């Protein structure tokens, strides 16, 4: 396996407040890697740093062997990093189809768009039913599906999922995680950020625990699931 994404001593701050203090971790090609942590641990900041919405103060991000620390966010999309942002971040006034098509905006060649649309509709049949509906009028779960589907339309090598289970009903959460595994099995590497540690660890090949801007634990998903300290802190098991 080759390393697809590598963060080295990444420091990111909002003004004077430092949110990530020298974060280092890596994602191998073909993996699902979960990043779990409590509120304010820096999960979304990490995602934004990878997708390019936030600039690094120090450190470097390498994608597929190239240093992309200085590359603009919209260019990173073309390189193969797509993100389904936290809080879904769909375009509320656009229809489902238009949203999905915005996902292809960064693509240089338009061949295979049809196949990708078909793939997204196969993964999320609900989106096909709702294809002419305005994104903002759909339920939270459907919007989450749309956000993931839209990210897939960019044909990413690395898919960044920021809290895909946030605010969803339990049956939706299960469904979303099942689909995440399915997407991964079709060949897309996935970096997943979650508060829902149980599911995130169970589905992940490897995982990292993020606490106040640094990595405190790492290991395979199973190892972390059985770690007592993590059980206490994140899984609500005493």
Partner 1 sequence: MSEQTPVRTTRAVQLTESREALGGRKQFLGGWRRRWNRMARWQQWLFLIIVLAAVYYLPVANPWLITTEPGNDFPIACFQMAVYALVAVGLNVVVGFAGLLDLGYIAFFAIGSYTAAFFTSPDSSLIHIPYLWTLPLALGIAMLFGVALGLPTLRLRGDYLAIVTLGFGEIIRILATIIPAARGQVGFKEVGHPPGTASDGQPIFSVSNGVPWYWLAVTVIIVILLLVGNLERSRVGRAWIAIREDEDAAEIMGVPTFKFKLWAFAIGAGVGGLSGALFAGQVGFVNNQKFDVATSMLFVAAVVLGGSGNKVGAILGGAIVAYIPLRFTAIADYKYLIFGIILIVLMIFRPQGLVAAKAHLLTYSRLALDKVSEFRAARVASEQEKAAAAEAAKGVPNE
CA distance linking residue 70 with residue 76, whole number of Å: 10
Return the range that interacts with partner 1 (CB under 8 A); candidates 6-14, 106-114, 163-171, 218-226.
Answer: 106-114
Interface map 121-140 toward partner 1 (x if CB under 8 A): ----------xxxx-xx---
Say whether residue 53 binds partner 1 (CB under 8 A). yes
Question: Nearer to partner 1 by C-beta: 99 or 165?
Answer: 99
Say whether residue 92 binds partner 1 (CB under 8 A). yes
Say whether residue 71 binds partner 1 (CB under 8 A). no
Say whether residue 105 binds partner 1 (CB under 8 A). yes
Interface map 151-180 toward partner 1 (x if CB under 8 A): ---x--------------------------
CA distances from 4 to 63, 120, 192 (A): 6, 24, 15
CA distance linking residue 238 with residue 231, whole number of Å: 7
Binders of partner 1: how many residues, by CB under 8 A? 38
Considering only residues 40, 93, 125, 167, which one is a binding residue for partner 1 as defined by CB under 8 A?
A: 93
CA distance linking residue 45 with residue 50, whole number of Å: 9
Handedness of CA 46, 50, 54, 58 (dihedral sign): positive
Kindly give the interhelix angle for 113-123 and 170-185, rounded to the nearest 10 degrees.
Answer: 140
CA distance linking residue 176 with residue 50, whole number of Å: 22
Compute the least distance from the CB of residue 151 to partner 1, in Å: 8
CA distance linking residue 96 with residue 119, whole number of Å: 15
CA distance linking residue 33 with residue 95, whole number of Å: 31
Residues forming contacts to partner 1 in the complex (CB under 8 A) are: 51-53, 72-74, 77-78, 82-83, 85, 89-95, 97-98, 101-103, 105-107, 113-114, 117-118, 131-134, 136-137, 150, 154
């Amino acid at each position: 396996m080759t390393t697809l994404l590598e963060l080295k001593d990444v420091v990111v701050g909002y003004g004077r407040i430092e949110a990530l203090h020298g974060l280092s971790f890596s994602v191998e090609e073909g993996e699902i890697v979960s990043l779990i942590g409590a509120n304010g641990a820096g999960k979304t900041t990490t995602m934004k740093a990878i997708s390019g919405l936030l600039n690094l103060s120090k450190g470097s991000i390498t994608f597929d062997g190239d240093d992309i620390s200085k590359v603009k966010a919209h260019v990173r999309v073309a390189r193969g990093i797509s993100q389904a942002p936290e809080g879904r971040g769909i375009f509320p006034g656009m229809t489902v189809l238009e949203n999905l098509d915005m996902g292809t905006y960064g693509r240089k060649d338009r061949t295979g768009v049809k196949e990708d649309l078909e793939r997204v509709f196969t993964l999320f049949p609900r989106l096909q039913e709702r294809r002419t509906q305005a994104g903002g009028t759909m339920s939270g779960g459907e919007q989450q599906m749309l956000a993931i589907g839209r990210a897939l339309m960019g044909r990413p090598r690395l898919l960044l999922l920021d809290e895909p289970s946030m605010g969803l009903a339990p049956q939706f959460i299960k469904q979303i995680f099942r689909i995440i595994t399915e997407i991964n099995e079709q060949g897309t590497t996935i970096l997943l950020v979650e508060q829902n540690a149980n599911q995130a660890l169970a589905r992940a090949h490897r995982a990292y625990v993020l606490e106040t801007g640094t990595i405190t634990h790492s290991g395979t998903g199973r190892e972390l699931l059985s770690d007592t300290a993590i059980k206490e802190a994140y899984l609500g098991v005493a």
